[in-house]
Amino acid sequence: MGFYSVAEPVFFVWIFSQQPPGFLKSKIKTAVVYSLFISSPLAIALICFYPSYTPVVALVCLCGLLYVILGVVAKYAGYPDQISLLHVLAMGIGMICPPLLLLLIPYFYKRSVKKLSIYLK
């Protein structure tokens, strides 16, 4: 998630010839795929050695993916500026109480689409 905390230059966003929702979906897809590549070996090993904890491992992996998605959409919620303090506090509360992620992700997604519409077609 730390990789997605720094906003890239406007030029790197502008060169995408997509609408903001398509841009965000491609960024989320890339982040999820790379996160799965990193976390899958450990998750598989845990499931192999502790099969009784399979639901717990799956839940932790799902929660981690939701954190990554939150990081991606929060990054663009204040674009081109850095993530604001209020957004960081909201993200922190979402990490403490994961069910709030189901509210925070759509909120940050809508703000990101609005902010990115200036830079994308």
Tell if the pTM clears 0.95, that is, is over it. Answer: no
80 vs 8: CA distance, rounded Å = 8
Confidence tier at 1 by pLDDT (50, 70, 90)? low
- The domains of the chain are located at 20-116
pLDDT at 115: 87
CB atoms within 10 A of CB 8: 12
* Least confident piece of the model among 10-24, 61-75, 102-116: 10-24
Q: What is the structure's pLDDT at 12?
A: 67
Confidence of residue 120 (pLDDT cuts 50, 70, 90): confident
